[in-house]
Structure 1
């Protein structure tokens, strides 16, 4: 795999480093640290994983692997770059806390690294399919010395078992100087020791600094309630390793006149469970137009930024979002011209980045060049409605449950909702180990999902330049997640590279259409395409080959079974009805007697064509080319269905365009005395089975209760 946005090096299929990107790369955030996976380090502990099973430590880990340390065991990292600080993602058993001893080149440091389960083991019973999750947390430490590339930094467990996932090594600059003319919170009585309540001092500094800078000097500051009325001011710290605000609710305001700049400090909360009615967020509401958030370290909150009201032209860049119990950032309607770029997000408890067009559409807004790792309950990036939205050059890794790497969706959750409109641009994104099993559906979600959940997709969805690697299930999924079969249409996929997928490249589960051009695939686990729209008979999903595609030209043959990772397409049972549950279309239908009724496995329901309009035809897509030797036609067996003769021919096609005759036109007698069943011998290797009807003595329309196709004569 080539170097991508954050210089992701891959060894044995594992993400092993996150470093500043080379100049030519454009995927993911440019980061000031390098991440090293514990499983690639030297250890006396036990490696766990890989695993993709929801609710396990390995499945939530970066790279799906980690290292478990019992007391006295250690993991030793080779430092990849000059550093004086480290951040460690870890997990300890529920209800426990402790420390890790830290060694540099064999010398034990005086300081230890705190580890805790306090912010982990989150339960969200109101979310269907959710299990206990959010097992990891992050702890950071200034080493008090410089280490060089090649030096050894080790962490040793003492009184508590610790699972170490990944270590971020960073060279932290000294504290920045106070800007001239600024108003310091300490001048207003703030306590940099963190013991006193600094809320009023922050409020007074903000009031005194209109049009100026509120300075947050190095230290720790405790706020006991949220700030509001924040507008026309800059809140600036000495750097997020030096200026730290301890609060779970920093700004909470429904509106602002804007021009707010928030930069260069940390806000670390105490959120230990997810309560959706609580505004336990760094920003809850509005910063107003022409505002920005940059250089922030945000941790242990419910949501980083939950943005409602007016936030036009907001820029959110160069921030770290760690350990939220819900979303990292959510543009909750009425966001115009918002840019969210160059951020790092790890261990979010819902969508890492989301746009939700509730009450008003988000418009002309973008998520660009962000690096997202380990969202543990939903999607890496989710676009729920909105107009002219862009998702570009993001790196998403290791989604865990109920979500995809990227979701483009018309799931509304609440009303009034504004569905996708205009052009949705999904360009240049890289997805690694994304997609997850959805226990509500009992089958998985793809790495990139287009979801007509609550309404058909009318927007133009343009997916270009995508790289998908090591998806545990499928690459591209098209679904109507609400189960009502709305169309996912107007989709083009251009220039994608798919390298290793557990099941299929295209997972089509609703009606609609997508055109694929220049999509190449290697290491496909089961088949190229799974094309089984739900509900059965709801319509057809058309996969159009626009040219330049390779490595995924097969189709999963059996809609009654879901392919498991690595399972080849099985040989169909020769006694299985190939038509049951497949997509059926017709030249016309009468009232509720739709084409799907002829392939639903129930002869008591039936398709009836438009009346007084012969000829009529019914076509069944068998999903893949099959050697069909027998066609069985049934009408409902009730006595009320009197005998009748239908004049019909049987035709077949491999491509749905050119048809050949398998059985010439003939009169076929359907008699209740013999089950209202007709069997026709055919001989054709076909995917599309067509019945062409020119007459019916019992009714002025074509009628079939069930159409069956078999491999045996």
Structure 2
């Protein structure tokens, strides 16, 4: 039993103040590995090629039998490339940030050199596929394009043109597209050298490219006909490809129905919209919306690609597409001649409600189309989100959002918005964020993959969010921060979600008193969620986070917090972590968190890690395959004769021996950095 005290120089955050999210940090080992990948060297690889039949269907890289009734109900079947037949090379598993395997679903993928293939067997009839992939950046940044042949039963049917123009970010927050860029903030704390470079003599050597990340993108393809279950989809990198390697992460296959037709509507073609995408259709959409409001009709966007390079302002209107595979609203990012009043220096495609300060919008209903942006850099002041503004009494259903800064960012106050059956992928920042005074709203059956920040978030900055629900959603592979994050608020619920593979500086589920958020009040319910391969290594603190992570930074967390029925599978470090930052550890605590009916299947270190004052209770929390010790209780690091400042209550039924009687209520069992024992794969309970 170790009782080492963490010196302030090791435990203190040492982070400069900035906008959310926190700065990116990395270890020298992770950096060296990522640089090898950048140069074309494979990441950690399995011995020899995969030889599977390719028909294995997973959900977030898991056996679907482990997650019944949890996550989004989606129309596609997910198949991991590492389970498919291939003559390529399986890379991973690896959870080290800044590596290709770490950002892959399930932490493994297949690396193909020109002439190599990976082949999937369709589990059911399909006429459309989505390929998640990575190809190298251009030497000077900005991305390349490269071909990928698609064959069915060894007959080529299409050639996809892959791109890395929306991938490959480098350096410190808010990141750069230039692999040769020097430090963006030379006065920030750098973990690699353990220093603030501007205050260091001699100036430390920071290799470039520095901290490459955000490697993956995905692309959809209609196959032109329906193929049967058992048919084989082969993805081959052509022999003449200019990409030194192509990494295939997964294939989603889907049977897409015919386009939806809406006759009694204001058809945008009648107002001059161009479905070929050659001419800008923004003004035509404005005219159609104005007419539809006068005539009390919906707006209809028939199949086609519509070029829109600015915001479409929506209020009291219904806009329907033919389906997100058929109707695509796509635009360029456009530099503004002068900054806008909100600080934006660019605009781009997006459907925006009016500003809340101007009364917001109401009765907006958007469905059945895709929004594709052109955002390749992160500028937090830019309003270049797919959906934005304030929309009360509104619905968003069946959209596909890609390549914008944030898929959906709502700035309240606003109430009663429903986001359902929507896919949000390949964002530079968050997938969705309820920001400031969003109330009585729902996000359900929405799928988020490859967000550049929190997948789903409620941020109660200045005005609290209240009575909102994130229910039955799937969040996979957020590159930075958390799968689902709550920053303050009242009576909110996170339920029945599936969250997997956060990459760095975050957890699957995060409850944080930080970023200037209003306090948690009332009841916070976290219920029926499953997490997988969650809990990243916090390289400032040099400790591993939990699959669920409570963080008291700005104030106490002392609302009624109930965590009921969650399953934490294959947690990289801890299943549960409760922590206060070192400078405020004697000011703020985390109190009275209630855990019950929890299953923990596999932890690299502990079931519970407490690094804060406070308390928690446990009833029917069952654990197995625990890597180090059931409870790592450091309290607030004073190690008093009376024990830890964090108290645990055993309310009965806690199986697996992880919560031994001698630990209660507050035995000090503080191991500064316990050894990590990778758990076996999760299995049926």
**Length-normalised TM-score, structure 1:** 0.74
Change in CA separation of 1:273 and 1:18 when aligned onto 2, cut-off 3 Å: farther
Q: Give the match for residue 334 of structure 2.
A: none
The answer to whether the Cα contact below 8 Å between 2:349 and 2:372 also exists between their aligned partners in 1 is no
1:164 counterpart = 2:248? yes
Q: Give the match for residue 538 of structure 2.
A: 438
Q: Give the match for residue 118 of structure 2.
A: 75
1:218 counterpart = 2:303? yes
Q: Secondary structure in 1 aligned to 2:97?
A: coil
1:358 counterpart = 2:469? no
1:144 counterpart = 2:246? no
Q: Give the match for residue 242 of structure 1.
A: 326
The answer to whether the Cα contact below 8 Å between 1:409 and 1:420 also exists between their aligned partners in 2 is no
How far 1:125 sits from its partner (Å)?
Answer: 1.4
Q: Give the match for residue 543 of structure 1.
A: 648
Report which structure shows greater RCO (CA 8 Å, sep ≥6).
Answer: 2
Q: Give the match for residue 421 of structure 1.
A: 521
The answer to whether the Cα contact below 8 Å between 1:291 and 1:311 also exists between their aligned partners in 2 is no
Mapped to 2, the partners of 1:483 and 1:29 lie a distance apart of 39
Change in CA separation of 1:246 and 1:65 when aligned onto 2, cut-off 3 Å: same
Q: Secondary structure in 2 aligned to 1:63?
A: helix
Q: Give the match for residue 565 of structure 1.
A: 676
Change in CA separation of 1:205 and 1:51 when aligned onto 2, cut-off 3 Å: same
Q: Give the match for residue 628 of structure 1.
A: none
Change in CA separation of 1:212 and 1:17 when aligned onto 2, cut-off 3 Å: farther
1:101 counterpart = 2:149? yes
How far 1:153 sits from its partner (Å)?
Answer: 0.4
1:375 counterpart = 2:478? yes
Name whichever structure is richer in helix by fraction: 2
Mapped to 2, the partners of 1:124 and 1:270 lie a distance apart of 21
Change in CA separation of 1:272 and 1:215 when aligned onto 2, cut-off 3 Å: same
The answer to whether the Cα contact below 8 Å between 1:10 and 1:16 also exists between their aligned partners in 2 is no
The answer to whether the Cα contact below 8 Å between 1:103 and 1:153 also exists between their aligned partners in 2 is yes
Change in CA separation of 1:52 and 1:513 when aligned onto 2, cut-off 3 Å: same
Q: Give the match for residue 399 of structure 1.
A: 502
Aligned residue among 66, 79, 86 for 1:43? 86
The answer to whether the Cα contact below 8 Å between 1:18 and 1:31 also exists between their aligned partners in 2 is no
Mapped to 1, the partners of 2:623 and 2:552 lie a distance apart of 25
- Deviation track 1:372-391 (CA, whole Å, cap 9, x = no partner) reads 11011010000000000000
Mapped to 2, the partners of 1:124 and 1:309 lie a distance apart of 32
The answer to whether the Cα contact below 8 Å between 1:59 and 1:65 also exists between their aligned partners in 2 is yes
- Deviation track 1:351-407 (CA, whole Å, cap 9, x = no partner) reads 000000012110000100001110110100000000000000000011110000001
Mapped to 1, the partners of 2:432 and 2:75 lie a distance apart of 21
Q: Secondary structure in 1 aligned to 2:574?
A: coil
Q: Secondary structure in 2 aligned to 1:496?
A: strand
Show the 5 A alignment for 1:185-584. 185-210=268-293, 211-228=296-313, 230-247=314-331, 248-252=348-352, 253-255=354-356, 256-287=360-391, 289-411=392-514, 413-414=515-516, 417-481=517-581, 483-485=583-585, 486-536=588-638, 540-551=645-656, 552-553=658-659, 559=670, 561-566=672-677
The answer to whether the Cα contact below 8 Å between 1:249 and 1:279 also exists between their aligned partners in 2 is no
Mapped to 1, the partners of 2:600 and 2:418 lie a distance apart of 32
Change in CA separation of 1:163 and 1:483 when aligned onto 2, cut-off 3 Å: farther
User: Structure 2 unaligned runs (5+)?
Assistant: 1-53, 139-143, 175-188, 192-209, 332-347, 680-685
How far 1:179 sits from its partner (Å)?
Answer: 3.8
The answer to whether the Cα contact below 8 Å between 2:479 and 2:504 also exists between their aligned partners in 1 is yes
User: Structure 1 unaligned runs (5+)?
Assistant: 1-8, 569-713
How far 1:49 sits from its partner (Å)?
Answer: 0.2
How far 1:17 sits from its partner (Å)?
Answer: 6.6
- Deviation track 1:649-706 (CA, whole Å, cap 9, x = no partner) reads xxxxxxxxxxxxxxxxxxxxxxxxxxxxxxxxxxxxxxxxxxxxxxxxxxxxxxxxxx
- Deviation track 1:197-227 (CA, whole Å, cap 9, x = no partner) reads 1110011111111142111110000012112
How far 1:430 sits from its partner (Å)?
Answer: 0.4
Q: Secondary structure in 2 aligned to 1:519?
A: strand
How many residue pairs get aligned? The number is 551
- Deviation track 1:148-191 (CA, whole Å, cap 9, x = no partner) reads 111110100120221000100000111111241x1111111111
Mapped to 2, the partners of 1:467 and 1:193 lie a distance apart of 47
RMSD: 2.3
Q: Give the match for residue 173 of structure 2.
A: 126
Change in CA separation of 1:141 and 1:437 when aligned onto 2, cut-off 3 Å: same
Mapped to 1, the partners of 2:263 and 2:57 lie a distance apart of 48
The answer to whether the Cα contact below 8 Å between 1:18 and 1:36 also exists between their aligned partners in 2 is no
Mapped to 2, the partners of 1:199 and 1:510 lie a distance apart of 53
- Deviation track 1:586-607 (CA, whole Å, cap 9, x = no partner) reads xxxxxxxxxxxxxxxxxxxxxx
Change in CA separation of 1:241 and 1:373 when aligned onto 2, cut-off 3 Å: same
The answer to whether the Cα contact below 8 Å between 1:409 and 1:450 also exists between their aligned partners in 2 is yes
- Deviation track 1:93-148 (CA, whole Å, cap 9, x = no partner) reads 11232111011011111x21221111111236136779432110011101112111
Change in CA separation of 1:13 and 1:243 when aligned onto 2, cut-off 3 Å: closer
- Deviation track 1:404-448 (CA, whole Å, cap 9, x = no partner) reads 00011111x23xx31110000000000011110111211111001
Name whichever structure is richer in strand by fraction: 1
The answer to whether the Cα contact below 8 Å between 1:452 and 1:487 also exists between their aligned partners in 2 is yes
Q: Secondary structure in 2 aligned to 1:277?
A: coil
1:64 counterpart = 2:71? no
The answer to whether the Cα contact below 8 Å between 2:57 and 2:79 also exists between their aligned partners in 1 is no
Q: Secondary structure in 1 aligned to 2:160?
A: strand
